[in-house]
């Protein structure tokens, strides 16, 4: 089954990525949203993004954000990653593995359930790609704050097939 069909079945609509292959620009400093080296796609930091000019799920776990909201933030972050992956390689069926993710949860010092938040990201990739492709290695860290008051951020390494000649 094509990944685009799977997204339709799951009721997932891709978002518009923040930027193309160029730099993000002034807001976050000079960097690229993704880099492709050989068959490896590296995604820079992604979050749940904004809706109507407001940060989705702002705040810290253990204070302003519930575990359920954090899970949804991580899931939305994954949807935003899928959108950037599609922009980078043109076809989500070219993904051969979610290799790894480095995840950050904005939280209070006494919050210890980071994994429950990151499950929102991992569960999404499992649903979309299946376990063989969609589940990779991951690490999740607590942070006192993240840019723009996001509660979750990730960076991905994705294996892709060779482009058609």
| pTM reported for the whole predicted model | 0.92
Per-residue pLDDT in tens (0 to 9) along the chain, 165 residues: 799 999 999 999 998 765 444 445 556 667 788 999 999 999 999 999 998 889 999 999 999 999 999 999 999 999 999 999 999 999 999 999 999 999 999 999 999 999 999 999 999 999 999 999 999 999 999 999 999 999 999 999 999 998 664
Could you give the domains of the chain? 3-34+41-160 (3.30.1330.40)
Q: Which two tokens stand for residue 123?
A: 């569960």
Please report which residue ranges of the chain form alpha helices under DSSP H.
Answer: 3-10, 67-89, 114-129, 131-134
Phi, psi dihedrals of residue 121, rounded to the nearest 5°:
-75, -50
* 154 bridge partner residues: 46, 103
Q: How far apart are CA 136 and CA 142, in angstroms?
A: 20
Characterise 135 by phi-psi region: left (phi > 0), alpha (psi -120 to 50), beta (else). Answer: beta
């Amino acid at each position: 089954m094509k990944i685009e069909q799977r997204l339709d079945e799951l009721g997932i609509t891709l978002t518009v990525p923040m930027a193309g292959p160029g730099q993000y620009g002034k807001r976050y400093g000079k960097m690229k949203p993704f880099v492709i080296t050989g068959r490896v796609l590296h995604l820079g930091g992604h979050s749940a993004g904004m809706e109507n000019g407001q940060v989705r799920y702002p705040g810290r776990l253990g204070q302003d954000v519930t575990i359920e909201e954090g899970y949804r933030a991580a899931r939305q972050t994954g949807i935003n990653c899928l959108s950037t992956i599609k922009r980078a390689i043109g076809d989500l069926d070219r993904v051969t593995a979610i290799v790894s993710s480095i995840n950050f949860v904005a939280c209070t010092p006494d919050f210890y359930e980071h994994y429950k938040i990151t499950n929102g990201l991992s569960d999404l990739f499992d649903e979309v790609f299946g376990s063989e492709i969609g589940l990779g290695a991951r690490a999740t860290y607590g942070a006192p704050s993240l840019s723009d008051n996001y509660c979750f951020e990730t960076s991905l390494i994705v294996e892709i097939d060779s482009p058609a000649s």
